[in-house]
Structure 1
């Protein structure tokens, strides 16, 4: 399977995506179905670091009809789905219903923990990474255990990610969705609409991987349409 994993990683890289590891489901787990319909035995997570996939996505989007719904999800399904088809896996997405436990899978795969914003904190990428899909296989794939990593939030005394939002959308009590949405849509929310979440941008880790303003504005516009 090693050659297959390398081939999958190379195929994903043509669109700026990366293979973020995976694991084997335990025999007593209620694993989702593989391509054949039998319970999957292994899962490989697909994602991004920084905004490397953005140019690939933009070129794809320019060829699509105007007003396509959920274009980033659609692009991710298309390109990851093509890799799944090539290697005999089943592609699943974080937006599939019923929702699959992508965050739990990611924590299990990479040993990450959530930040105060809910986004998993990566020791290299900080908050500037994402999971775009996963590949489910009926075969068992031998993968190394995740390395133990320092949870950077534990070393951060100031927690600027909880102090930069004008409406205190994030706090120890959780995410105030309606307060955030109302602010982003309102007259005073232009800095967020143009440059992204102020709390997220205040995090001092992984800044070299920070999404450019264009990318952050795209995601904020999608959030504001909810």
Structure 2
């Protein structure tokens, strides 16, 4: 199936019906070494799929009600189902950031939307701030009428105070990177209740995209998943 501008619009509409957002895309170049598409040959194009704010959350909760209580990685499972169904309808191959071997989702996202990382490592979006994520991608055998975005102004460059680096009680984020074990120990410990109930304090301190900030229950869900991490 050759994707046209109209079919890309229909893909976006199908994703939006489930609270997900088409996050841009691009055609691979000969030097990219792309993964395989639905035919098994190297893919010609990719569309990134994600969320902006918590628009996906009601859709996920409705799906969750019909699933077994004990299910591993339910949000990933839901995302795979939704994106997989869209892929089947439009002749694409669906992939996930958690697929192994890991694919360069962050590099693809930067290329597709012209974004750069924040001091927290999360890509800073000009509208969503830090309140967005990438849940998967669609790989196509044919080129698409899409192109990579030109990088725009990076909001973090004009943010002098950098409150995102001053709110964590264990200074998990710094110029040296993310102190994963320190963060995990704090979240699991007696002093980690504010993080467990309301999300990362550094992330919440960012002044951008606050209208898209995840509600506390969504942040608590993600933090609980982080607290269960085994490595």
Q: 2 CA distance for matches of 1:131 and 1:177?
A: 21
1:32 alignment counterpart: 35
1:99 alignment counterpart: 102
1:78 alignment counterpart: 81
Deviations 1:84-110 (A, max 9, x none): 000000000000001000000000000
2:165 alignment counterpart: 162
Are residue 120 (structure 1) and residue 123 (structure 2) matched? yes
With normalisation by structure 2, the TM-score equals: 0.96
2:111 alignment counterpart: 108
Deviations 1:6-31 (A, max 9, x none): 11011101101111110011023211
Gaps of 5+ in 2: none
4+ residue runs of structure 1 moved beyond 6 angstroms?
none
Alignment partner of 1:16 out of 19, 30, 54: 19
Structure 1 residue 148, shift from structure 2 partner? 3.5
SS of corresponding position for 2:25 = strand
Structure 1 residue 46, shift from structure 2 partner? 0.4
Aligned length: 226
Deviations 1:179-209 (A, max 9, x none): 0000000000000000000000000000000
Deviations 1:93-139 (A, max 9, x none): 00000100000000000010000000000000000000000000000
Alignment partner of 1:184 out of 183, 187, 194: 187
Does the CA-based 8 Å contact 2:24-2:148 persist in structure 1? no
Q: 2 CA distance for matches of 1:145 and 1:118?
A: 21
Deviates more, 1:4-13 or 1:145-154: 145-154
2:10 alignment counterpart: 7
1:222 alignment counterpart: 225
1:69 alignment counterpart: 72
SS of corresponding position for 2:48 = strand
Q: 1 CA distance for matches of 2:71 and 2:148?
A: 40
Deviations 1:31-55 (A, max 9, x none): 1000110000000000111000000
Are residue 200 (structure 1) and residue 203 (structure 2) matched? yes
SS of corresponding position for 2:222 = helix
Structure 1 residue 142, shift from structure 2 partner? 2.1
Gaps of 5+ in 1: none
Structure 1 residue 67, shift from structure 2 partner? 1.6
Structure 1 residue 178, shift from structure 2 partner? 0.3
